[in-house]
Amino acid sequence: MNAPDGERILALFDFDGTITTREMLPDFLHCAVPKWRLRFWKPWMLPLVVAARAGWMSGSTLRAILAWVAFRGMPETEYEARALAFARDALPGVLRPEMMARIAAHKANGDTVVVVSGAYDVYLKHWCAAHGLDLIASTLEVRDGRLTGRYAGAQNVLAEKARRVRERYDLAAYREVHAHGDTPEDEHLLALGHRRFYRGAERTTL
C-alpha cells in the first residue's frame, strides 16, 4: 500500500543530462526534422550555436530559433509519429543506470516522481507513460494541424520549472522534496528541494 502524501517524497528530475547521458535536442532534431531542412539551415545555425555556447546568446533564445527553423509548417501527425519513434528507439540507449535505479527506488516507495524538463513533451510523454512518471515539459504550438514553430506558452526552463511544479503540486503535502539537475539552468528547480542532487551528488547548499 502506498503511503499518504504527507509521508511520501516528491522527487523532481530534470531529463537531459540528468536522466540521460547527454543533451537530447540535437538527436531529436536529426530524427524528426526533414533532411532537406537540416541541410539548408545548418550553415546558418552553426554561428548561433557557437554564440550560445560562448554565452553571447541565451539558451532560451537559441531554442526558440531552432523550433521555428526546424518545425514551422510540419504536420502535427508527422511530428507525433517521429516523436513516438524517437522515444521508443533512441531514449533507451542514453539512460543513466544510476538515475534509473533512483527513480525505481522512489517508485517502489510510492513516491511521486516527476520529470521536469525544458525538452519537448511530444516524445517525453511516451517515455514517462512507459515508466509511470508524471511530466512537466515544453510544448510546441499547433494550429490547424500544423506546427507554427513557436512554443505554446513559456519554455519550461529556469524559473518556469519551479513555477509549474508549484502550480501542479502542493509541496507542503509531502514529507520531503528531492530535486535532481545537472546544469546552472536547473538552480530554480533545485531550490525547491529539501535534498538537492547536482550531477548525481548531493549538495548541502545552493
Whether the per-residue pLDDT at 1 is higher than 50: the answer is no
Render pLDDT for 146-162 as a digit per residue (tens, 0 to 9). Answer: 999 999 999 999 999 99
> What CATH number corresponds to the domain at position 169?
3.40.50.1000
The domain in which residue 25 lies consists of 5-203
Rounded distance between C-alpha atoms, residue 31 and residue 41, angstroms: 15
Determine the Cα–Cα distance for residues 13 and 178; give it in Å rounded to an integer: 8
Question: What is the C-alpha to C-alpha distance for residues 164 and 76, in angstroms, rounded to an integer?
Answer: 25
Give the mean pLDDT of 130-157.
Answer: 97
Whole-prediction pTM value?
Answer: 0.90
C-alpha cell at 196: 538537492
Q: What is the DSSP letter of 102?
A: H
Question: Could you give the 3-state DSSP secondary structure of residue 132?
Answer: coil
Nearest CA among 77, 71, 88, 89 for reference residue 32: 71
| Statement: residue 3 has pLDDT above 60 | no
Could you give the number of structural domains in the chain? Answer: 1
Q: What is the pLDDT of residue 161?
A: 98
pLDDT tens profile 62-94: 888 889 889 999 999 999 999 999 999 999 999
Summarize pLDDT for 11-24 with one digit per residue, the tens.
999 999 999 999 99
